[in-house]
């Protein structure tokens, strides 16, 4: 366990109090981990039927296909299962559906095709728990299905599958887990060991799908990050420029690039992503890595273009827009607008698989629960799903105006809960590498365990400096230490005499040089000076 003997306890105690942790809990949370700590398969209910059926299929040399999903979690899940069968010496088929051609999940049309190609076993990953019709059809055609999924179970109803691996159905524990996590559990059980590369993919899936970084999720991600930095996995290194990997690099660089292919590509090229993550051929990795980078740059440019083209949005209780854009962009646009305007937001576009429908993506925050909103708007919904603050839906085109009216009325009844910023008071002198390193002992940070926020009070506005035509705060406060605040303008700040700033410490790397930054998230007038 980590020793506290040589650690300055003042700052550490502030961090412990912030997270409401005891020293003993900190010791446990930061203890060294081994791969043995990731043998979740020993505690997972219902795993045995999957193992028995797969071993039978291998022994009988059956044709097996993995059916995945087009987001990062789905790509990681599919790659894990395809790779484990390769390691077992039984190559299998795989299919990742196109967002634009197939839509989400295993469907009847693809089952028909799978049957014609002579497959006798389907393994769904990151989907399948609600594919009742497709799985029933597969059974009629003599095809068994194994479901490896993590999505919400509908009305306690389960599909007619030979085996189901699901965090709650399988009683893994109290936390939600990603599809990639569950695929990793299956892979580890099949191999009877933890394979480092499969662990890395599961870690990426856990962060990309915004699972709570607590308990077993935390252990998996910690070890996955250590493994990625210890090993040079070509497919991952190609996406990061070989930089040191942490949870932020995964969330901000790796996951968006993988997701971009499913968002932007209207063909079935997304299946090349599986080859990319399974292949050991450096030429394949380099070629498709370049394709991924190009697609991602296009995605960023289009998102920016759409946001900038929108007409001014006034003071409204909710935002409902119908846009002529790719389906893959609607969630990104909704997320940008909900953060900018602080009201629940839905972005619709024409459904690519059914021209009579509009497909929508909704985003919200504390104070407006999307699941409950769907209940109030049920009469309009053709399909829907999601969580408290993110969801997807489809409505008939003819219902758009009525839906919009009723949604605005509903949104007007609620307001986002004003978040009280919990922050640790510090001085400018406390922003240093020693304290930054103490903060990192609490990592990884993410859902359910955010990085700590700090409060610095009493800064004289006139002493602050700005860049980019005075649009962004950028002030040197010490040796290689900078205050940096985007969209914090001189014009607004200098209306005040003294300000207090909220933010967190970040280490910025540029061309091999590391700079400690205090990233300012917000500021307020200081009323005491």
**DSSP codes of every residue in 100-140:** TTT-SS--HHHHHHHHHTT--EEEEES--TT-HHHHHHHHH
- The bridge status of strand 472-478 relative to strand 481-485 is antiparallel
CATH code, 474: 2.40.50.460
* Residue 515 belongs to some domain of the structure: yes
Domain boundary among 412, 442, 471: 412
Are 274 and 334 in a shared domain?
Answer: no
- The DSSP secondary-structure symbol of 39 reads -
pLDDT at 384: 87
* Residue 418 belongs to some domain of the structure: no
Domain boundary among 412, 446, 467: 412
* Residue 22 belongs to some domain of the structure: no
φ/ψ region of 159 (left if φ > 0, alpha if ψ in -120 to 50, else beta) reads beta
To the nearest 10 degrees (0 to 180), the angle between helices 196-208 and 179-191 is: 160
pLDDT at 2: 43
Domain boundary among 354, 381, 412: 412
Q: Of 181, 122, 107, which is closest to residue 151 (Cα–Cα)?
A: 181
- How high is the mean pLDDT in each 10-residue block of the chain (529 residues)? 53 95 94 92 90 97 96 96 97 93 90 97 96 96 97 88 95 93 97 97 96 95 97 94 91 94 78 93 91 92 89 88 92 90 93 91 88 90 83 94 95 74 92 94 94 95 93 88 91 92 90 87 85
| Alpha-carbon dihedral 134, 140, 141, 145, rounded to 10 degrees | 50
Q: For the sheet with 319-322, list strands across it.
A: 319-322, 345-350, 357-363, 390-396, 381-386
Are 272 and 143 in a shared domain?
Answer: yes
* Residue 32 belongs to some domain of the structure: no
- The bridge status of strand 319-322 relative to strand 345-350 is parallel
Are 442 and 407 in a shared domain?
Answer: no
Query: What is the spatial distance between Cα 57 and Cα 72, in angstroms, rounded to a whole number?
Result: 28
Are 320 and 392 in a shared domain?
Answer: yes
User: For residues 411 and 443, is the Cβ–Cβ distance under 8 A?
Assistant: no
Looking at beta carbons, which pairs linking 431-439 to residues 24 or more positions away fall under 8 Å?
431/456, 431/477, 431/478, 431/481, 431/505, 431/516, 431/518, 432/478, 432/481, 432/516, 433/516, 434/8, 435/11, 435/505, 436/505, 436/507, 436/516, 438/7, 438/8, 438/11, 438/12, 438/15, 439/15, 439/505
Are 222 and 194 in a shared domain?
Answer: yes
User: For residues 370 and 388, is the Cβ–Cβ distance under 8 A?
Assistant: yes
* Residue 466 belongs to some domain of the structure: yes
Query: What distances in angstroms separate CA 113 from CA 23, 51, 137, 515, one per listed residue?
Result: 58, 25, 12, 55
CATH code, 317: 3.10.310.30
* Residue 445 belongs to some domain of the structure: yes
User: For residues 102 and 74, is the Cβ–Cβ distance under 8 A?
Assistant: no
In sequence order, the 6+-apart residues with CB closer than 8 A to the CB of 117 are: 63, 65, 93
CATH code, 268: 3.90.1640.30
pLDDT at 416: 66
Are 276 and 199 in a shared domain?
Answer: yes
Residue with tokens 């969580």: 387
Are 55 and 152 in a shared domain?
Answer: yes
pLDDT at 267: 66
Q: Centre a 10 Å sphere on the Cβ of residue 245 and count the other Cβ atoms it contains.
A: 24
Are 220 and 134 in a shared domain?
Answer: yes
Q: Taking the CA atoms of 216, 68, 381 and 299 in sequence, report the sign of the dihedral they define.
A: positive
Are 362 and 438 in a shared domain?
Answer: no
- The bridge status of strand 345-350 relative to strand 144-148 is unpaired
Are 250 and 323 in a shared domain?
Answer: no
Farthest-apart Cα atoms in the chain, separation = 79
Are 454 and 480 in a shared domain?
Answer: yes
Domain that holds residue 460: 424-525
Query: What is the spatial distance between Cα 44 and Cα 190, in angstroms, rounded to a whole number?
Result: 14
User: For residues 495 and 515, is the Cβ–Cβ distance under 8 A?
Assistant: no
* Residue 25 belongs to some domain of the structure: no
Alpha helices in 389-432 (DSSP H): 400-412
Residue with tokens 């790509």: 75
pLDDT at 48: 95
Are 401 and 444 in a shared domain?
Answer: no
* Residue 14 belongs to some domain of the structure: no
Give the total number of structural domains in the chain.
3
Distance of CA 305 to the CA centre of its chain: 24
Q: What is the CA radius of gyration of the chain?
A: 25
pLDDT at 365: 83
- The bridge status of strand 357-363 relative to strand 319-322 is unpaired
DSSP of 359-370, one letter per residue? EEEEE--TTS-H
């Amino acid at each position: 366990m980590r020793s506290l003997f040589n650690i300055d306890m003042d700052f550490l105690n502030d961090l412990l109090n912030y997270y409401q942790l005891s020293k003993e809990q900190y010791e446990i949370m930061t203890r060294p981990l081994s791969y043995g700590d990731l043998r979740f398969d020993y505690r997972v209910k219902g795993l045995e039927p999957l193992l028995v059926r797969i071993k039978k299929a291998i022994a009988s040399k059956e044709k097996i296909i993995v059916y995945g999903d087009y987001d990062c979690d789905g790509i990681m899940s599919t790659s894990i299962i395809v790779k484990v069968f390769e390691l077992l010496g039984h190559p299998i088929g795989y299919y990742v559906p196109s967002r634009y051609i197939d839509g989400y999940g295993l469907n009847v049309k693809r089952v028909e095709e799978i049957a014609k190609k002579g497959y006798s076993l389907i393994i769904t990953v990151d989907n399948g728990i609600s594919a009742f019709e497709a799985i029933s059809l597969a059974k009629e055609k003599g095809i068994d299905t194994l479901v490896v999924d993590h999505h919400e179970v509908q009305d306690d109803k389960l599909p007619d599958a030979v085996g189901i691996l699901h965090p709650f159905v399988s009683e893994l524990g109290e936390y939600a887990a990603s599809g990639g996590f569950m695929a990793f559990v299956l892979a580890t059980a099949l191999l009877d060991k933890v394979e480092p590369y499969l662990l890395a993919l599961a870690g990426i899936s856990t962060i990309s799908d915004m699972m709570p970084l607590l308990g077993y999720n935390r252990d998996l991600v910690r070890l996955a990050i250590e493994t990625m930095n210890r090993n040079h996995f070509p497919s991952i290194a190609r996406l990061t420029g070989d930089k040191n990997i942490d949870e932020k690099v995964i969330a901000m660089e790796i996951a968006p690039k993988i997701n971009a292919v499913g968002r932007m590509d209207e063909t079935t090229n997304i299946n090349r992503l599986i080859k990319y993550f399974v292949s050991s051929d450096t030429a394949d990795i380099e070629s498709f890595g370049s394709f991924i980078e190009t697609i991602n740059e296009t995605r960023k440019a289009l998102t920016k273009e759409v946001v900038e083209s929108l007409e001014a949005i006034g003071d409204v209780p909710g935002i409902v827009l119908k846009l002529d854009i790719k389906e893959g962009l609607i969630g990104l646009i909704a997320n940008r607008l909900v953060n900018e305007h602080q009201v629940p937001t839905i972005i619709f576009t024409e459904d690519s698989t059914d021209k009579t429908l509009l497909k929508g993506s909704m985003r919200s925050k504390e104070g407006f629960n999307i699941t409950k909103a769907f209940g109030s708007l049920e009469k309009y919904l053709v399909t829907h799903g999601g969580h408290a603050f993110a969801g997807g839906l489809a409505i008939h085109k003819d219902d758009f105006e009525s839906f919009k009216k009723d949604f605005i009325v509903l949104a007007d009844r609620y307001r986002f809960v004003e978040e009280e910023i919990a922050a640790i008071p510090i001085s400018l002198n406390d922003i240093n590498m020693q304290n930054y390193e103490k903060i990192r002992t609490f990592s990884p940070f993410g859902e359910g365990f955010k990085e700590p926020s700090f409060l610095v009070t009493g800064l004289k506005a006139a002493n602050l400096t700005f860049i980019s035509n005075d649009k962004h705060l950028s002030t040197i406060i010490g040796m290689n230490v900078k205050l940096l605040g985007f969209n914090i303008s001189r014009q607004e700040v200098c209306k005040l005499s003294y300000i207090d700033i909220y933010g967190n410490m970040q280490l910025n790397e540029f061309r091999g040089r590391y700079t400690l930054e205090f990233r300012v998230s917000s500021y307020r007038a200081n009323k005491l000076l």
